Amino acid sequence: MSSEVLPTVWFSAVAVLWIGYLFLEGFDLGVGMLMKLFARSDAERRVLLNTIGPVWDGNEVWLLTAGGATFAAFPRWYASLFSGLYLPLTLALVALIFRAVAFEYRGKIVSERWTRAWDWAIALGSGVAAFCVGAMLALTTTGLPLNANGDRVGGPFAWLNGYAVLGGVAVVAFALVHALAFLALKTDGEIRSRAHRSFRRWMPLGLLPLVAWVAVVQLADGKWWSWVLTGLAAVAALASWMLANRGSEGRAFLLLAGFLATGAAAIFSAVFPVVLPSTLDAAHSLTVTNASSSATTLGLMTVVALIGLPLVLAYQSWTYWVFRKRITVGSIPSAHNVVPAFVARIVTGRSPADGSPAAGA
């Protein structure tokens, strides 16, 4: 495989990894935000958590893999992007850490104050992470003020512009819509009915920011094949909404994923071969050629990816298949303390048995 082809192959691979992350972590983050926007009781919030409990950490692997692939295949792209966007990147990582800790700690103690605090950590962590990831991806396609060395020019908030806000809102809104489609597919009873109604109602509005992002990139850099992908995305979105109205939840969810895949592919293919545009001077932009690693490195990465990627896909597919059954409020066991009672009293200041203030509190 020639040295000109390998950078293109790995640009496509990085794009696929980001699309996979937005698809899998999209409904994952959305469910986290819906802990406060949708669920009406602790029982419903526990149902929401159990829909993503077996898979949320596996979904985040796609983010790590996308970052690692960018670092190995395009070190200059990685250096300019992550140093220029260190503030939103740090915020995203802190939000994901709080979210992960909340998943593990929320059910350890039966206390309204305890669970409410961790519910907010999950909801806010999911929202902040989704916004920051969207902002960073939007700026990857619209540009940063880069000089000839690939360094960002300006202060710590030089990245914060209308495109960043658009990308952040687009990912947050899509995650919420995607999560509603996922809950309609993964739950049963009242939660399923309410999620289905909310999905049909809010889907057109929730997809608008992402549609606007696609339109901005297409109008600036669109090519005939990226316009074809844009058209396919529009068809997939319309078909998803129509199928949702007919009660076909599984097909609606898959077509919504198709909308994301074709829409994101349209964005990445429109900016190709540029991987990070410079808003100061087009000559300073990073491309698949000047930002890539050596042909030897890319060749070795290709061999490793051909071996490892099928294994990862097989394992994750198996995980979703094992936990494919719908979840209801009735399938959730009664809450109970996991930690010793004296630890619960110290942490909450209340008796875990009856919720009354602990002695000496």
3-state secondary structure of 144: strand
What distance in Å separates the CA atoms of residue 307 and residue 262, rounded to the nearest whole number?
26
What distance in Å separates the CA atoms of residue 152 and residue 142, rounded to the nearest whole number?
14
3-state secondary structure of 69: helix
Confidence of residue 1 (pLDDT cuts 50, 70, 90): very low
Region 227-236 average pLDDT: 95
Whether 356 shows a pLDDT value over 80: the answer reads no
Q: Are 198 and 251 in contact (CB under 8 A)?
A: no
Q: Are 83 and 144 in contact (CB under 8 A)?
A: no
Q: 243: which 2 tokens?
A: 């199928």
Residues 6+ away with beta carbon under 8 Å from 39: 45, 47, 48
Could you tell me which residue, 351 or 172, shows the higher pLDDT?
A: 172
Q: What is the pLDDT of residue 361?
A: 33
Whether 359 shows a pLDDT value over 80: the answer reads no
Q: What is the pLDDT of residue 346?
A: 58
What distance in Å separates the CA atoms of residue 253 and residue 186, rounded to the nearest whole number?
11
Q: What is the pLDDT of residue 360?
A: 33
Residues 6+ away with beta carbon under 8 Å from 263: 210, 211, 214, 229, 230, 233
Rounded mean pLDDT of the chain? 88
What distance in Å separates the CA atoms of residue 337 and residue 257, rounded to the nearest whole number?
38
Pairs from 314-317 (Cβ < 8 Å, separation ≥ 24): 316/55, 316/58
What distance in Å separates the CA atoms of residue 203 and residue 178, rounded to the nearest whole number?
9
Q: What is the pLDDT of residue 344?
A: 59
How many other CB atoms sit within 10 Å of the CB of residue 80? 24
Whole-angstrom Cα Rg for the chain: 22
Q: What is the pLDDT of residue 54?
A: 87
Q: How far is CA 73 from CA 28, 67, 69, 318, in A?
A: 28, 10, 6, 29
Region 183-190 average pLDDT: 92
Region 183-203 average pLDDT: 93
Q: 83: which 2 tokens?
A: 């140093």
Q: What is the pLDDT of residue 3?
A: 57
Q: What is the pLDDT of residue 156?
A: 83
Q: What is the pLDDT of residue 319?
A: 87
Whether 87 shows a pLDDT value over 50: the answer reads yes
Whether 354 shows a pLDDT value over 60: the answer reads no
What do you get for the CA distance between the two ends of the chain, in Å?
A: 70
Q: Are 74 and 14 in contact (CB under 8 A)?
A: yes
Q: Which of 47, 133, 53 is nearest to 93 (CA)?
A: 133
Confidence of residue 340 (pLDDT cuts 50, 70, 90): low
Region 256-270 average pLDDT: 94
Q: What is the pLDDT of residue 142?
A: 92
104-152 pLDDT, tens digit per residue, is 888 888 778 888 999 999 999 999 999 999 999 999 999 999 998 888 8
Region 216-231 average pLDDT: 92
Confidence of residue 175 (pLDDT cuts 50, 70, 90): very high
Could you tell me which residue, 353 or 25, shows the higher pLDDT?
A: 25
Phi and psi of 350, rounded to 5°? -135, 160
Confidence of residue 176 (pLDDT cuts 50, 70, 90): very high
Q: 161: which 2 tokens?
A: 């512009």
Whether 217 shows a pLDDT value over 70: the answer reads yes
